[in-house]
Amino acid sequence: VEGCMAIADALANNSTLTTLDMERCIVDAKGWKAISDVLADKSTIEKLRMSVNGVDEEACLALADALAVNLTMKDLYLYDAGALNEVMYHSLLVGLVCNKTLRRLYVADSRFRSSLGGVVHDNARPTALRGL
């Protein structure tokens, strides 16, 4: 948790870093929440790699909330990010549909890909998402 808090503090004062690679990091919900809070507010991060992580429901909800208001994220990597359940799918879908800058989402789970494709297609609001 302390490491993620330090990363979150650094990101809050960052003006140049555009990629955050958190792949294969063991991060708990508090750590993801700290990072997500910064992504929602004061972020220059355009690319976030979260693949091969044990993202739990609390962390996923924090990320979804951040995605809904984030103004810089263009690429999000979620391969093997954790065992996503229906609540997690739904929260991410809502966050992604609200997001206006994300262009590429990298996920391996076919259920999530098909759900997201349907939501983006059916959504009346335009989205920047171009690739799954």
pLDDT tens sequence across 99-127: 888 888 887 766 666 666 555 555 445 45
pLDDT tens sequence across 43-56: 899 999 988 777 78
Question: How many domains is the chain built from?
Answer: 1
- pLDDT number for residue 36: 93
Question: Which pTM does this prediction carry?
Answer: 0.80
127 domain-assigned: no
What phi and psi, each to the nearest 5 degrees, are found at residue 20? -120, 115
Domain that holds residue 57: 2-122
130 domain-assigned: no
**SS3 state of residue 14:** coil
pLDDT tens sequence across 44-93: 999 999 887 777 888 889 999 999 999 999 998 887 766 677 788 788 88
Residue 5 has pLDDT above 50, yes or no: yes
- pLDDT number for residue 47: 96
59 domain-assigned: yes
10 Å CB burial of residue 45 (0-12, 13-18, 19+) is buried
What phi and psi, each to the nearest 5 degrees, are found at residue 85? -100, 180
Q: What is the CATH number of the domain that holds 24?
A: 3.80.10.10
What phi and psi, each to the nearest 5 degrees, are found at residue 104? -135, 130
